[in-house]
Amino acid sequence: MTAGERTAHPTGPLLLSGGGGVTAPPPARLVVDGLTVVFGGVTALDDVSFTVEPGTVHALIGPNGAGKSTCFNALTGVYRPARGTALFGTHDLTSMPPHRIASVGVGRTFQNIALSPSETVRDNLLLGRHHLGRSGFLADALGTRRARHEERQALARIEAIAAFLGLADKLGTPLGTLAYGDQKRVEMGRALAMEPRLLLLDEPAAGMNASETESLTQSIDQIRSELGISVLLVEHDMTLVMQVSDRVTVLNFGKKIADGPPAAIQTDSTVISAYLGEPEDWTTPHPGDGPGETSSER
């Protein structure tokens, strides 16, 4: 087997500088301005603006149906907004071809695990490096020296990321056989493999138990402080949000109703009344306690 599978590091350090030979470009801020998404007459996202500062964790919260996922999908080119821009550095994410967004440094995870169950963990992680690769179909078919070199570099990087997330001993395992929490970590690992400067995390704690959420909190913290990656986080677990966020934007019915540091948001009367419909999000300290390790439901 390959070199990285000697021992499993629970969470080893992950040096970003390597990056498979890619030099990290300067950090950039994400400026979302007047973003509006309309579905057949229904305005799902209405004139939403916020800014994610470099090197911060910015949470996007709101009751169900508030437009959080729509916002994510508009930022990653899944939906085309009717109006508004999302400038990341100098690039407007809303007007570029969706497959180019990865290469300006935006990585994302998906709310429901969107990995390939029949592929190994290694191949699922390697997919994250697609936009960093240069070898084309011909080079891959002929197995040129460059293609092989690139593949080796990508593998080495994947092994480091797997070690960072405590997945080092699972690289050769087909994803579909992993426990739910591990699959969530692979989802995170694939986004990290993209070497993003901005990481969009879509409900990373959904379905996790308390200890898994705890280690996720640490991971997000490390991603910001050690790797210097900005994080835009959609999450229902308020404990997690309040612990890791530098700033919080609150959406309700597609509109922004509040924006500020966590402490201010917690006491904001508009936010509290918006959430009255579903108090469990506010009051339960660990919403994740319920489902426990329910890998079976997915």
Partner 1 sequence: MIKFLELCISGISLGSVYALVAIGFVVIFKATRVLSLVHGSLLLLSAYVVARAEPTVGFLPAVLLGAAVAVVGAVLVQRVFLERLRRRGANYIALTMLTVGLDIILLTEVTRRIGARVYGINNPWGSEVIHWGGFSFPVARLAGIVVSFSLIALFFAAFKYTTWGVALRASADDSHTAALMGIRQSRVAGAAWAVAGALAAVAAVFLVAFPAPGLDASTSLVALKAFPAVVLGGLDSASGALVGGLSVGLVEVVLSGYGEQLSFLGGGFGSVAPWALVLLVLLVRPSGLFGSKEVARV
Partner 2 sequence: MCSRPSRRISWPASPARVVCWAAAVLALGGAPFFLSSALLQIGLLAGCAVIAAIGLNILTGTAGQFSLGHAFFVAVGAYGYALLSGDPAAANVVGLGLPSVVSVPLAVAIAGLSGLAFSPIASRVRGLYLAVASLALVFLGQHVLFNASAITGGFHGRDIAPLSVGGFTFSNRDPLYVLGVEFGRYERLWYVALAATVAAYLVARSLLGRRSGRAFRAVRDNEVVATAMGVNVRATKTAAFVVSASYAGLAGTLLALTLGRVVPESFGFEQSVDYLAMIVIGGLASVGGAVAGAVIVASLPLLLSQFSSYLPFLATPGSGGIEAGTFTRYVFGIAIVLILLFEPRGLSALGRRVASLGRRDPVAPAVTGGQSSPVPQSAQ
Point out which residues bind partner 1 (CB under 8 A): 69, 73, 78-79, 110-112, 114
Rule CB under 8 A: say whether 276 interacts with partner 2. no
Q: Shortest approach of partner 2 to residue 263 CB, angstroms?
A: 26
Q: Point out which span in 16-24, 27-35, 133-141, 285-293 binds partner 2 (CB under 8 A).
A: 133-141
CB neighbours of residue 209 within 10 Å:
18
DSSP assignment letter at 22:
P
Query: b/e string for 137-159 if b means 16 or more Cβ within 10 A?
Result: eebeeeeeeebeebbebbbebbb
Q: 26 vs 97, which CB is nearer to partner 2?
A: 97
Rule CB under 8 A: say whether 5 interacts with partner 2. no
Contact partners, residue 83, CB within 8 Å, separation at least 6: 34, 35, 36, 47
- 3-state class (DSSP) for residue 252: strand
Q: 121 vs 217, which CB is nearer to partner 2?
A: 121
Contact track, partner 2, 279-298, x by CB under 8 A: -------------------x
Which of the residues 165 through 184 are near partner 2 (CB under 8 A)?
A: 174, 176-177
Rule CB under 8 A: say whether 131 interacts with partner 2. yes
Report the alpha-carbon angle 146-150-154, nearest 5. Answer: 175
User: In sequence order, which ranges of the chain are alpha helices (DSSP H)?
Assistant: 68-75, 121-127, 137-142, 145-164, 180-193, 210-225, 238-244, 262-266, 269-275, 280-283
Interface pick for partner 2 out of 13, 25, 95, 148 (rule CB under 8 A): 148
Which of the residues 253 through 272 are near partner 2 (CB under 8 A)?
A: none
Total chain residues near partner 2 (CB under 8 A): 59
Per the CB < 8 A criterion, the answer to whether 1 and 172 are in contact is yes
Q: Point out which span in 141-149, 178-186, 236-244, 281-289 binds partner 2 (CB under 8 A).
A: 141-149
Q: What is the dihedral of CA 144, 145, 148, 152, to 10 degrees?
A: -170
Report the alpha-carbon angle 4-5-9, nearest 5. Answer: 85
Q: 41 vs 97, which CB is nearer to partner 2?
A: 97
Q: Shortest approach of partner 2 to residue 268 CB, angstroms?
A: 21
Cα distance between residue 279 and residue 271, in whole Å: 12
Q: Which of these, 161, 123, 145, lies nearest to 18 by C-alpha position?
A: 161
Contact partners, residue 165, CB within 8 Å, separation at least 6: 11, 185, 186, 188, 189, 192, 219
Q: Shortest approach of partner 2 to residue 172 CB, angstroms?
A: 8
Q: Shortest approach of partner 2 to residue 225 CB, angstroms?
A: 25
Rule CB under 8 A: say whether 6 interacts with partner 2. no
> For binding to partner 2 (CB under 8 A), which residues are involved?
1-2, 39, 44, 64-70, 73, 76-79, 97-103, 108, 110-112, 114, 116-120, 122-123, 126-128, 130-131, 133, 135-137, 140-143, 147-148, 150-151, 154, 174, 176-177, 190, 194, 298
